[in-house]
Structures are given as structure tokens and as C-alpha cells.
Amino acid sequence: MSDEINIIEQNITDTLELNYMPYTMSVIVSRAIPEIDGFKPAHRKLLYTMYKMGLLNSARTKSTNVVGQTMKLNPHGDSAIYETLVRLTKGNDALLHPFIDSKGNFGKQYSRDMAYAASRYTEVKLDAICNEIFKNIDKNTVDFIDNYDGSLKEPVLFPTTFPNILVTANLGIAVGMASSLCSFNLKEVCSAAAAFIKNEDIDIKKYLKAPDFSTGGELIYDENELKKIYNTGRGSFKVRAKYRYDKKNSLIEIYEIPYTTNIEAIIDKIISLVKMNKLKEVNDVRNETDLNGLRITVDIKKAADPDMLMHKLFNMTPLCDSFSCNFNILIDGTPKVLGIKQILREWLRFRVGCMKRQIIFDLEKKNEKYHLLSGLAKILLDIDKAIKIIRDTEEDKMVIPNLMKGFDIDQVQAEFIAEIKLRNLNKEHILKRIDERKALSDEIKKLSEIKESDELIKNIISDELKEISRKYGKPRKTDIIYKDDIKEFSLESFIQDYQVKLFLTKHNYFKKITVASLRSASEQKLKEDDEIIMEIDASNKMDLLLFSDRFNVYKTKIYDLSECKASSLGDYLANILDLEDDENILYIVATSDYSGYMLFAFENGKVSKVEMSSYSTKVNRKKLINAYSDKYSLVSMCYINEDCDFIAVRDNNKAMLFNSALISPKAAKNTQGVQVYTLRKNSVMSNFIKSDSFQSVDLNYYRVDKIPSAGHFIVEDDLTNNF
């Protein structure tokens, strides 16, 4: 019996709508993207749990206790909760203003391998700055919702008294979108927010200088790029490490690194570059981070220039890294990418709303108290009457109705009066309550005025910002250096220049050997049946051009080619250059300025003279096609820096000597050249070499003053010596 498979067709749009879209929205709204208070839901659930545990003004408790309690609001598991807690602690150094005061090992944000201790070994409490996060949260300043099982209430947002969204660095990856918020200095944020409240047209850069990170470093200030970030919420900037040089011990100490990298990534990259012979100045690199803080030590050669080396490291390692900004924030449940002013505007709107709700709450409480004291004021007219009413009432349940009737007060007032202790019926106590009623009246009037005036509310917010800046503000950790003040080093300046010998073999093997290494070598190691076909002198900073039999020229920097010993086979060019199948390199040229010419001799008696500058390109192209003409069979090619004498041989029985100046140079690489030899039918030019490579008793016998020419028969002795 075969199993039947029932296939139910379903419209893809229905599947997306029913399954994918709810998941997407859940990740965006309930997990990855921060809201205007600067927190994600996981942060909020954890901190609010700690607040309800009384950890704002008490001693630390075990992290395990906090994690367990948080699971009442966050059902995602203890490890995820503890990981969230770790990042919010002082010990982790991930935030400029940590929200959790911690004791124990919480790892470090700047280390990939420094693991944090288990929750049972660490202790936490809320830091003092959380007073500003939770301020008046119990006065209906924000909305509350049920937790996942309806057993508890939790806040939708925190009523933060400062723009925490700009102070706390936040990274989040949702579905189809992401968020990346850098942190700014609290003092600068409060100053910018206070100025913005007074005038929204301010130049925000005057107050908010640049981002600031807990790991310090140096921010490379690019005004145009930061202006773009401030205006649009998108863009990137670079932060580089701080270092100091110990001349006595020839070592560089790196003590602050970019926020986006870690110690291990930096050290791994340096080690990799040393192995690749790209950092010859470095002897050793070590991680010497301890309780005193971060430290990467780089031992360098005594002859090395530390500043030059550091610029090299900034260019080649994460010691200089970019932070990509994407200020994507949830505003009323909708993700929006906002600039700094837009963020401040949304935060101010949110904060004004919180303040109004708090004022309404306070007004209700004060009005209730005022109402009670108003009832108390009425009994002052006749306290004895109140006592008589209570004493003459036979049934307890009639005390309240009788007081209401006797003094024309409502039930709430009567209840309050009935509960007054006998000892409080003295004149002093009653007069104090009357004065309190008058003060309440003034407060109610003032609060009512504030409630109706956004301007007054904004003034209060501005005063709070100034107080927060004074109380919690810290100096900048990330220094600002201006792009124009940085000494630029070209890539060439990082490269060591020294003399090398380059070898090309018949079977496409290539060797780059230093002169020092070559002196100590006995003989060149080659594959069986292989032989060296070219050997040239060059320096490490030169460009290398490799001409192939497929009319291509391949270009590379000599310093990019690995050095080898004479005892090794060298590098196989097919692997380095991505040669075509069965393509072979015929000729190599090293040049630093692309001066001189390439000469290409063909069997039909023509020679083309191509300017070397034709092979120079502005972009770093590795391959140029049509490097020389493909119309006729190539006899030989040769590089010359200036014009010189050549011997052209016909059918190995005739030769002629002429100067290359007789050939006009061309800029076109694939030019067919000019006729040099006058050939008979079925004759070919069989060789084309520099004159010093031709052995002759009388070389001038073959000289011609103009081309083309039929040449001269080779004398017997010269035939013997050359063929």
C-alpha cells in the first residue's frame, strides 16, 4: 500500500500575509528596533523587574535572582536575559552610562574571548542614573500593558527625563531592516536638547560635537559626513585607536580601540599580516589587558618609524574602523529613520506627554486632598457640634450620614473627619491643616497653569536637563581629530624598497628573490625539463608587466608578490594571474614610471614600437587585452628605455643592423608596426635581438641607414658563432 501525499495549493500572498508578516512585525516592534526612550523590550523588561525588586536604592543581589524574576515578563529563557543584563552593566564597558551597578566578571565589550561569569557568581543593582529613567513612572506617566500571561503589568515605555535614545548605543537587526545608533556624550545631548527646546532652528553641531563611545578612541571628524548623519540619520564615520610609543623598549602600547572591533580581531589581523611579510617592522604582538584596562603591546624593530607603522596599521587592520549609522527608531509603533533634530522633536513630544500625564495625576491627588481638607475646614466652625453628633449617634453606620447632614459635606469628607484621632482635635493641628489647604490651593492653581501651557512644561524639561547634565555628566571619552589635520601617507610609503631579482621560467614559474638571499644561494631549483628564460633586476616598489602568448599583458605590484628562496620552485603564474587555459608568459618588464618602449618583431618583417605609457592605467587593472598585434606571428619582444641598435635576422642567413630610432613610436598597443625587412616570397624574419647579443667580427658590416632593407648575408664566422 503506497502512502498518498495530499498537496494543498496555497496562494503565496496568503502565506506571506498569514505567516511571514506577523513574524516580521513581531521582530521589528517587539524585539530588534529601539523606541524613543532608547530601549528595546528586552532591556525594558529587565530594568523594570529590577525596579520593582527595589534594587534602585538597596544593596546588590545575585544576578540569578534578577534573571529569575525577569522571566515573569520575558519568557525567552535565562541565557538570553542574562546576556541582556551583561551589556547594561558597568563591568562590561559597553555603555557610556551603564544602567546596572555590577560586581563580578561581566566580560568586556572590547574582547571577543573574555567570557562573563555565570549569573550565580555575579551581583547587580540599578545604577543611580536609573532615577532619571524611572522618574514618576508610578504617576501614570506612561501606559502599562499586561505581561504574556496577564498576571502582571509592565510599562510600554520608560518616562526618561533625558534623550537616552542618543546616549545609549544600540544595534539591532530585524527582518528586512536594521537599526544602528551610535552614542553621544550626555552633557552634549542635554545641552543640545535644552537649546533645541528654546529654538528648533539651532545649528545642532554647535552643541552635539560628535559621537562618543565607551571604548574611547579618536573620531576622525569629517564635517560633510557628520552633517549628513545629523540631517538624515544615515552615514558613517571612522574611529581609530589611541596609542603611545615606548622608545626605551621599542614597543607601541594601544590602550583604546574603536567601538566596533575587539582585541582578538586586531591581534589576529596583525599576525596574519606579519606572516604575509606585509609588516616586517613588527617583532611580536601581545594582549596585555588586565584589571587596569585594555592594552595591546606591539614590539617593533628599533629602526621602524612608530608613527608610520601606526598609519600602516590604521590602513590595514581594524585599529581604524567605520561605524555605520542607521537611526531607525520605532515612533508610535512605526519604524522611522530620523535625523538628530527629528529625534529630539519626537523625544520632546513624548516627554511633554509624560509630563502632562504626571501633572494630571498630581492634580487629581491634590484635588482629592484639597476636597478632604475643605470638609475639615467646615467642622472648624463648630468642633463641639461634630463631637456631639458622633457621641449622640446610636448606630455606628449612622455616623457618616449624620456628619454629612450636620455640616453639608459629602461622604468622602465625612469618612475623613470620622477617622480623625481624638488627639488631633486640638487647635494647632486644625490650623496646620487649614494652612495646608491654602498651600494646596496655590499648588493646584500653579499645576493647572502648567498643564495648559506647553511652554511652561518645556521650561521644566529644560531645567531637568541642566540638572541631569550637572549630576551625571562626564567628560568625552572619544577624542575628536579633524580629517585635514591627519598626516596622509600613501600606500607606497608603507612599502619597503629594496633590490630584488626576478626570474621567469619556461613552464610559467616565477621567482622573486632578494639580492641578499641570492648571494647565499648555491643554485636555482627548477622542475625537470624547466629552464630560466628571463632574469631581470628590479626594486620592490616597481610595477611588473607580464606579456603572454595570448596577446595579453598582466600587471601587478612587485611588493604584492611573495619572496622565495633559490631552493624553492617559486610561484606558479597560472594561479597568481588567473591565466587562460594553456596561456604562457613570454616576457616580463619591471618599471616605476612607464618610460621607454616595447618593441614587437613579427615574421612578416614588421616591428612595432609601443610607448610604455600605453600600458599605464589610472585604475588598478590587472589585465589588459590586445597588448600587441595578433595579425602576424611574433618573433620576439623587447623592452628598451631609450633607442639602441638591433640585429634583425632573415631566414638565419641574412642580417641587418639598425637603430630603433628609425621606427616611429605608437600609442596604440596593437599597432602592426612598420616594415623593417624587405622579404622575398616564403622568407620570414627569424630573429630580432639587441646588437650586443650578436657576435660578429665586424658588426658595422650589417648596418643600414634606412628601413626597410634587404640586409646583408651573414659571413661564415658569424654563422658559426651565432647559429
Grid cell 528586512 is found at 176
242-318: CATH number:
3.30.1360.40
Q: Which distant-in-sequence residues (6+ apart) come within 8 Å of 133 by Cβ?
A: 37, 47, 99, 158, 160, 161, 164
What backbone phi and psi angles, to 5 degrees, belong to 186? -60, -45
Per-residue model confidence as pLDDT tens digits over 258-301:
999 999 999 999 999 998 878 888 999 999 999 889 999 999 98
Q: Where are the alpha helices (DSSP H) in 160-244?
A: 164-167, 186-198, 223-232
What is the mean predicted confidence (pLDDT) over 453-466?
Answer: 95
What is the mean predicted confidence (pLDDT) over 533-550?
Answer: 94
pLDDT at residue 338, rounded to an integer: 96
C-beta separation of 94 from 214 below 8 A: yes
Out of 4-8, 318-322, 329-333, 592-596, which region has the weakest mean confidence (pLDDT)?
Answer: 4-8
Grid cell 543584563 is found at 85
Strands of 606-611's sheet in order across: 634-640, 597-602, 606-611, 674-675
Q: Are strands 479-482 and 218-221 parallel, antiparallel or unpaired?
A: parallel
**Residue of 644, 589, 634 whose CA lies nearest to 608:** 634
As a residue count, the chain comes to 723
Per-residue model confidence as pLDDT tens digits over 352-395:
999 999 999 999 999 999 988 888 888 777 788 888 888 888 88
Confidence of residue 420 (pLDDT cuts 50, 70, 90): confident
What is the mean predicted confidence (pLDDT) over 467-476?
Answer: 96
* % of the chain surpassing 70 pLDDT: 97
Question: Of residues 51, 82, 110, 121, which has the active-site annotation?
Answer: 121
Q: How far apart are CA 487 and CA 311, in angstroms?
A: 9
Q: Which is more confidently placed, 640 or 8?
A: 640
Q: How far apart are CA 162 and CA 134, in angstroms?
A: 11
Out of 61-65, 152-156, 492-496, which region has the weakest mean confidence (pLDDT)?
Answer: 492-496
Q: How far apart are CA 543 and CA 545, in angstroms?
A: 7
**Helices then strands, each counted (H, E), the chain:** 20, 33
At 557, is the secondary structure helix, strand, or coil? strand
For the domain made up of 491-722, the CATH class stated in words is: mainly beta
Q: Tell me the β-bridge partners of 483.
A: none
Other C-beta atoms closer than 10 Å to the C-beta of 311 total: 19
Per-residue model confidence as pLDDT tens digits over 306-333:
988 999 899 899 999 999 999 999 999 8
**Residue of 141, 167, 178, 322 whose CA lies nearest to 236:** 322
pLDDT at residue 185, rounded to an integer: 97
Residue 272 C-beta-side C-alpha neighbours within 13 Å: 10
pLDDT at residue 433, rounded to an integer: 79
Q: Give exposure, 129-166, as e/b (b: 16+ Cβ within 10 Å).
A: bbebbbbbbebbbbeeeeeeeeeeebbebbbbbbbbbb
pLDDT at residue 492, rounded to an integer: 66
Per-residue model confidence as pLDDT tens digits over 20-69:
777 777 676 667 899 999 999 999 999 999 999 999 989 999 999 999 99
CA distances from 537 to 123, 292, 500, 554, 558 (A): 68, 52, 6, 19, 12
Confidence of residue 198 (pLDDT cuts 50, 70, 90): very high
Query: What is the pLDDT of the chain when averaged over all its residues?
Result: 91
Q: How far apart are CA 418 and CA 421, in angstroms?
A: 8
Q: Where are the alpha helices (DSSP H) in 473-592?
A: 515-519, 573-577
Domain ranges of the chain: 33-160, 242-318, 356-472, 491-722
Q: Which distant-in-sequence residues (6+ apart) come within 8 Å of 69 by Cβ?
A: 49, 53
The pLDDT of residue 552 is above 90:
yes
- The answer to whether the 33-160 and 356-472 domains have the same CATH topology is no
Q: Which is more confidently placed, 429 or 87?
A: 87
Q: CATH fold of 33-160, please?
A: Topoisomerase II; domain 5 (3.90.199)
| Cα-to-chain-centroid distance, residue 195 | 30
Task: Report yes or no on whether pTM surpasses 0.95.
Answer: no
Out of 544-548, 562-566, 571-575, 656-660, which region has the weakest mean confidence (pLDDT)?
Answer: 562-566
Out of 10-19, 383-392, 578-587, 677-686, which region has the weakest mean confidence (pLDDT)?
Answer: 10-19
Q: Which distant-in-sequence residues (6+ apart) come within 8 Å of 371 by Cβ?
A: 412, 413
First to last CA, the chain: 87
The pLDDT of residue 422 is above 90:
no
Q: What is the DSSP letter of 206?
A: G
pLDDT at residue 490, rounded to an integer: 65
Per-residue model confidence as pLDDT tens digits over 206-232:
999 999 999 999 999 999 999 999 999
Out of 59-63, 346-350, 412-416, 532-536, which region has the weakest mean confidence (pLDDT)?
Answer: 412-416
Vertex 349, ends 344 and 351: CA angle to 5°?
90
Q: Give exposure, 190-216, as e/b (b: 16+ Cβ within 10 Å).
A: bbbbbbbbeeeeeebeebbbbbbbbbb
Q: Is 121 tagged catalytic?
A: yes
C-beta separation of 647 from 578 below 8 A: no
The pLDDT of residue 675 is above 60:
yes
pLDDT at residue 607, rounded to an integer: 96
Q: Which distant-in-sequence residues (6+ apart) come within 8 Å of 640 by Cβ?
A: 596, 597, 599, 660
Other C-beta atoms closer than 10 Å to the C-beta of 605 total: 25
Confidence of residue 563 (pLDDT cuts 50, 70, 90): confident
Q: CATH fold of 356-472, please?
A: Topoisomerase; domain 3 (1.10.268)
DSSP letters along 329-398, please?
EEETTEEEE--HHHHHHHHHHHHHHHHHHHHHHHHHHHHHHHHHHHHHHHHGGGHHHHHHHHHH-SSGGG
What is the mean predicted confidence (pLDDT) over 468-474?
Answer: 96
pLDDT at residue 303, rounded to an integer: 82
pLDDT at residue 537, rounded to an integer: 93
Per-residue model confidence as pLDDT tens digits over 243-262:
999 999 999 999 999 999 99
